[in-house]
Amino acid sequence: MSKNGIKSDTEVILYGDFNNWFAAFVFWVFKYYGHENLKIMNGGRKKWELENREYTTDEPQLQATEYKSAPPDEGLRAYLFDVWRSLDRIDSVMVDVRSPKEFTGEITAPPEYPMEHAQRGGHIPGANNIPWATAVNDADGTFKSFEELNQIYQPKGVTSDKDVICYCRIGERSSHTWFVLKYLLGYSKVRNYDGSWTEWGNMIGNPIEK
C-alpha cells in the first residue's frame, strides 16, 4: 500500500477479470483491514473492453506513503468454529457459491483451476448452492438489479434477518457474493468464510453432504 502511494483516506477503485471475482476479494481484504474509501468498477475489464475503452502501458509515478492499516474487522470474517456453530441454527444460513458440480462433489476443484483439489468433495451440511456469477449479467459482467438480486437469494432463505456465511474454495468467489449481499442488498449480518472448502473439505471429521 505504501509503495503504491495509497494513504488511509485514498479512494481505491478495483477492477479485474472473471466478472470482478478477484476485485471483490481485494475489496473484502481492504475492508477487513479498515480501508473505507473503496469502489468496484461495475462490469470490470469485460465491460471496459466491450466499450472499446483505451488501455495504457505507462507506469504511474507514485510517491510512497506511510500507510497504517486498522485492526482486522472480525465482523466481516467467519472462521471454522463459526461455521460449526451455525450448522443447526435456524437464524443462520450458509451460501455455497461454487459451481453445482463442486457442490455435489462430482468435481473437487473449480472448473477454472482444475488442479487445485480438496481431499473430499461435497458441501457443508445445510448449505444453499447459489453460484456467485448468478449475480451478474452475462453480456457485460455488470451486477444485476436490486429486484433481480432479491429474486436470486430470498427464495432460498438467504434473507437480511439471518446470519449469512458465504464460502467457496478459498474465499475469493464467496467475497463476490459477500459484496453483493452487504453492499448491493444491504445485509448487515453477512460474513466471508475464507477458509472455505480448502479448509472444511480437507479436515477429517468435518461433516459433508453430497
Q: Which three cell numbers stand for residue 46?
A: 469485460
Q: Do 168 and 98 form a contact (C-beta atoms < 8 A)?
A: yes
Q: Which residues are catalytic?
A: 168
Phi, psi for residue 135 in degrees, rounded to 5:
-85, -5
